Structure 1
């Protein structure tokens, strides 16, 4: 017996991911504001180099967020196309793509959590 994966289930997960990505975007704005504050307080080259490192990391992570959002949007468009045809379950290839994307989200969640921990340690040292 095959397991059926419904479009509504995938859509629900996409909504969850989009909310998480929007939260990350908002957090990154706050982190960038913290960096701006620190730039005005410090002249030490080592500290400034670390600030630049975090600035670059936040820019990179912002790009990753955009890519993830685009991928979700494409998958949503695909789901909508299936739904318009009256096909409420996804084919194996699309479910496989969704599972791979779930893995990407989980990996990015860990990368982002590690970056935040590292940044908070930095802030506690230099704020």
Structure 2
């Protein structure tokens, strides 16, 4: 692989890692907001929604953690420091990582919107 292509790929991966880290921070913040909502509500429908968001935050954080790990592994692979790859989540294919980031962004954005609407009306 050409050195300039490696640098470009590393820059892309680092941008994605920063984006994922920002999402992780935002999820932590949303969890704090949710904890405050728990204290304010006695409505059963709200409690069902709260449980829904708790589950969504757990799952979204798991996906973010996997993405962050895989992006780190990909950077190591590009730098020639990683000979072994995940069979179930290839980290040496930038197009695959790009597709996963697209999906991650979409699901994260939907969660943010849905949670924002819940907080606004609770």
C-alpha root-mean-square deviation of aligned residues, in Å? 2.0
Please list the CA deviations of residues 3-26 of structure 1 after superposition, one character each: whole Å capped at 9, or x if unmatched.
x97110110001100110111011
Q: 1:125 aligned to 2:110?
A: no
Which residue in 1 is equivalent to 2:40?
Answer: 41
Larger Rg: 1
CA distance in 1, matches of 2:50, 2:12: 35
| Partner SS, residue 6 of structure 1 | helix
Q: 1:70 aligned to 2:66?
A: no
Structure 1 unmatched runs, 5+: 83-93
| Partner SS, residue 42 of structure 2 | coil
Moved over 6 A (4+): none
Which residue in 1 is equivalent to 2:108?
Answer: 112
CA distance in 1, matches of 2:43, 2:91: 51
Structure 1 length as normaliser, TM-score?
0.82
Q: Which has the higher contact order (CA 8 A, sep 6+)?
A: 1
Please list the CA deviations of residues 56-88 of structure 1 after superposition, one character each: whole Å capped at 9, or x if unmatched.
101100000110011111111111117xxxxxx
Which residue in 1 is equivalent to 2:86?
Answer: none
Which residue in 2 is equivalent to 1:26?
Answer: 25
Q: How does 1:89-104 map to 2 (within 5 A)?
A: 97-104=93-100
Deviation of residue 33 (structure 1)? Answer: 0.5
Q: 1:11 aligned to 2:10?
A: yes
Structure 2 length as normaliser, TM-score?
0.85
